[in-house]
Amino acid sequence: MKTWDVLHIVLDTMLGPHADERLGTVALASQPQPLRRRRASRALIAVLRHVFGTPLDVARQTHTTAAVHQVRGLVLGSTGEHPWWAVLDCIEVLLTELGRAADDSEGDHDSEEKTFITAQLNTVMETYGGGYRIIDGKVVPMTSASEVSAVEEALSDSAQIERVRDQLESMLSALSARPQDNYLRSAQEALDAVEALVRHLTGKNTLSVGLRALRNRDGDPFHQTIYSAWEKLYGYRGDELQHAKGAHVDLATARYLVVQACAFCSLLLAQTPSNSGRAADARAGV
């Protein structure tokens, strides 16, 4: 119920007090249709297509009230036709579309609606014991505030390093995969994000060589055991996660590696002179 309350407030506000119209008519219109109304219509079209399997032409012909009613039935479980994870998929699709600019000229900044939904739904999940949290638009099986914070900080700190940011986003996508989990790939992507960052900082092609370069720099702030631990973790990535036949990673292991990798990325950036100020600015939204 609470989940639907959040989504309903946002959709109702964005669609506004207009006549019931076909989604395609609103979504593809230029002015005078308000941007928020167009964005909401495009989000509903995306939900119909990717969650309900509705063909694009049919989705565009669906009226706004009918689309909202379908989403309501899914979230409240009144249809009984969809698996439990469809609600999580619905949330992700809405967040993706609401955060996407309607026109290229508008940039790609997250909308106020996306920020509101993320904050409110995370509060609902925390209050009612949901085993998930929303991070960067993905609904992931993670509940600890410290774990969530570690991932969010790494995403923020690495915002200007495309390769690292891409690896972290791939990590989240794998961690949130449904219905078949992909914890193995999320663990691989997490460790690869560390390698990508070390490569960015040192120019070295392999993690072990890059870690040695960091360890040998003047005034290095870390104890050598930190580097040794990460060399061993990355060895685990090669021996167990990539080359071993039938390798299996459960959620607890994946979550551990994800959090450790994110924390190490933030630590490296904070302790690297040329990046420490940039990381702090990113967290402050500067």
What is the rounded CA–CA span in Å between residue 37 and residue 24? 12
Lowest mean pLDDT among 70-74, 197-201, 233-237, 267-271: 233-237
* 228 occurs within a structural domain: yes
The pLDDT of 96-122, averaged and rounded, is 71
pLDDT per position as a tens digit, 177-222: 998 889 999 999 999 999 999 999 999 988 889 998 988 887 777 8
pLDDT per position as a tens digit, 67-97: 999 999 999 886 677 888 999 999 999 988 8
pLDDT per position as a tens digit, 121-161: 999 999 987 899 999 999 999 999 999 999 999 999 999 99
* 151 occurs within a structural domain: no
**Residue labelled with tokens 């009984």:** 80
* 27 occurs within a structural domain: yes
Give the contacts of 174 (CB within 8 A, at least 6 positions apart): 182, 183, 185, 186, 189
160 & 124 share domain: no
Residues of the chain above pLDDT 70, percent = 84
Residues of the chain above pLDDT 90, percent = 49
pLDDT at 36 exceeding the cut of 50: yes
Give the pLDDT of residue 242.
61
Residue 138, classed as helix, strand or coil, is strand
| The total number of structural domains that make up the chain | 2
pLDDT per position as a tens digit, 14-25: 887 766 788 888
59 & 162 share domain: no
The dihedral region occupied by 29, where left means phi > 0, alpha psi between -120 and 50, and beta the remainder, is beta
The pLDDT of 56-73, averaged and rounded, is 93
pLDDT at 276 exceeding the cut of 80: no
Residue 181, classed as helix, strand or coil, is coil
Token pair in block for residue 207: 């993690």
Give the pLDDT of residue 39.
83
173 & 69 share domain: no
pLDDT at 1 exceeding the cut of 70: no
What is the rounded CA–CA span in Å between residue 87 and residue 4? 10
The pLDDT of 251-277, averaged and rounded, is 86
117 & 160 share domain: no
**Rounded mean pLDDT of the chain?**
84
State which of 114, 130, 146 marks the end of a domain: 130
Give the pLDDT of residue 286.
45
* 223 occurs within a structural domain: yes
The pLDDT of 6-20, averaged and rounded, is 81
* 138 occurs within a structural domain: no
**Structural domain containing residue 9:** 2-130
pLDDT at 103 exceeding the cut of 50: no
161 & 126 share domain: no
Query: What would the DSSP string read from start to end of 88-114?
Result: HHHHHHHHHHHTS-SSGGG-SPPPHHH
104 & 196 share domain: no
Give the pLDDT of residue 277.
47
What is the rounded CA–CA span in Å between residue 152 and residue 265? 11
